[in-house]
């Protein structure tokens, strides 16, 4: 499939990129690694007038440790995340998520910013232009129906990024910049929860960095994922967990996040509340995983049946919690 016609832009500084975004707004598509955007271009799911390549912007690189946080530039590659001894040692869920993103060549091209900002996916949407011409126009394409859920009043497309659930487990934030200003919001707040427009960003904003707060005391984290092939595919179900215990061995922090279970990663708030003050015992972890199952959506719009993917949320949630508990013991 050929790319649609467009004008190519390559800013040399962040201010120049922001100026271009301000000028062209919804007519421009940002690319860095391009591992997702190029496929969407080829399938004519997007047809922007301009493609802006930000890959060479030097200010968007680096993994820098500060006193209270770690700052990762939006253009840091997935391979750089994988290779970071700091992230492997102290932010295991984030490193594990990076190790499970695609094959090494794609992970070398793809960036953490691009992985976070992947659009939602659906079998009735992520198809070639020829196939889509034979389908009814769905919510995500501007129509009034959902082809995955008959009578659905909203878009049930699924967010399938790996990095966001792990980052949300650490309560990470992201920096959004536009000409003349910047704002910092939680990565959880970056998501709108709507399949049609999954991100709460203005058309002239650009994600430039990720801020991960440092953790104190005894804590551990883990990320688990279901996919068809071991080195390539998007998650069909996923879970990230962060656990910390206080001096008496009871949970002081517990955060469980599920992915590929709706249009945005979901914090299992009930699980967090249920685990606080409890001992890290098997029964308590299982109860939290059951809550993850209740929160997930099981829609038949990905490669595996929705009911199966939903059941696997419970399995992966429990595995992630166990992995976080094991990581915590190792770090004590």
Are residues 196 and 226 part of one domain?
Answer: no
Residues 258 and 303 in one domain: yes
Q: Are residues 97 and 169 in the same domain?
A: yes
**Structure confidence at residue 102 (pLDDT):** 83
CATH number, residue 66: 3.30.465.10
Is 33's pLDDT higher than 60? yes
The sign of the dihedral angle between the CA atoms of 160, 161, 162, 166 is negative
Looking at the structure, tell me whether residues 8 and 20 fall in a common domain: yes
Residue 5 lies in a domain: yes
pLDDT of residue 231: 64
Residue at 294 is within a domain: yes
Flag whether 126 is in a domain: no
In sequence order, the β-bridge partners of residue 65 are 70
Residues 91 and 178 in one domain: yes
280 and 311 co-located in one domain:
yes
**Beta carbons within 8 Å of 57's beta carbon, 6+ residues apart:** 11, 12, 13, 14, 17, 75
Task: Give the chain's domain count.
Answer: 3
Residues 250 and 316 in one domain: yes
Are 78 and 177 within one domain? yes
Express each pLDDT in 68-119 by its tens digit: 999 999 999 999 999 999 999 999 999 999 999 988 888 899 999 999 999 9
Q: Is 10 left (phi over 0), alpha (psi -120 to 50) or beta?
A: beta
Supply the range of the domain harboring residue 316: 218-327
Mean pLDDT rounded to a whole number for the chain: 94
Is residue 95 domain-resident? yes
**Same domain (yes/no): 208, 62:** yes
CA nearest neighbour of 186 among 158, 214, 167: 167
Which of 8, 50, 30 has its CA nearest to residue 208? 30
User: 33 lies in a domain?
Assistant: yes
Strands 63-65 and 69-73: antiparallel
Instruction: Judge whether 299 lies within some domain.
Output: yes
Last residue of a domain, one of 40, 56, 72: 56
pLDDT band (50, 70, 90) for residue 273: confident
Residue % of the chain over a pLDDT of 70: 98
What integer pLDDT is reported at residue 143 of this predicted model? 96
- In terms of domains, do 204 and 299 share one? no
Task: Please indicate, yes or no, if residue 137 is contained in any of the structural domains.
Answer: no
Which contacts (CB < 8 Å, 24+ apart) does range 98-101 have?
98/162, 98/163, 100/162, 100/223, 100/225, 100/227, 100/235, 101/162, 101/163
Last residue of a domain, one of 173, 188, 213: 213
Same domain, 257 and 163: no
Which one of 213, 236, 252 terminates a domain?
A: 213
pLDDT at residue number 59: 94
């Amino acid at each position: 499939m050929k790319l649609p016609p467009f004008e190519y832009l390559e800013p040399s500084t962040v201010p120049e990129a922001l100026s271009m975004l301000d000028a062209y707004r919804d007519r421009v598509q940002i690319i860095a690694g391009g591992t997702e955007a190029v496929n969407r271009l080829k399938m004519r799911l997007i047809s922007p007038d301009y493609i802006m390549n930000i890959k060479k912007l030097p200010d968007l690189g680096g993994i820098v440790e500060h006193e209270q946080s770690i700052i990762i530039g939006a253009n840091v590659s997935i391979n750089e995340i994988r290779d970071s001894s700091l992230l492997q040692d102290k932010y295991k869920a984030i490193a594990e998520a990076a190790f499970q993103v695609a094959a090494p060549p794609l992970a070398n091209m793809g960036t953490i910013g691009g992985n976070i900002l992947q659009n939602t996916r659906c079998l009735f949407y992520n198809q070639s232009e020829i196939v889509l011409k034979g389908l009814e126009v769905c919510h995500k394409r501007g129509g009034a129906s959902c082809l995955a859920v008959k009578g659905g009043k909203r878009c049930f497309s699924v967010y399938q990024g790996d990095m966001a659930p792990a980052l949300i487990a650490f309560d990470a934030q992201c920096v959004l910049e536009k000409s003349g200003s910047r704002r910092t919001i939680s990565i959880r707040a970056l998501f709108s929860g709507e399949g049609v427009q999954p991100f709460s960003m203005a058309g002239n904003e650009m994600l430039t960095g990720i801020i991960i707060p440092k953790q104190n005391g005894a804590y551990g984290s883990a990320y688990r994922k279901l996919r068809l092939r071991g080195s390539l595919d998007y998650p069909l179900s996923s879970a990230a967990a962060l656990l910390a215990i206080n001096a008496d061995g009871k949970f002081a922090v517990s955060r469980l996040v599920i992915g590929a279970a709706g249009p945005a990663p979901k914090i299992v708030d009930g699980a967090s509340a249920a685990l606080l003050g409890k001992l890290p015992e098997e029964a308590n972890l299982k109860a939290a995983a059951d809550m993850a199952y209740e929160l997930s959506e099981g829609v038949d719009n990905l490669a595996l049946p929705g009911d199966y993917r939903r059941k696997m949320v419970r399995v992966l949630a429990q595995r992630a919690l166990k992995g976080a508990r094991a990581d915590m013991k190792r770090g004590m």
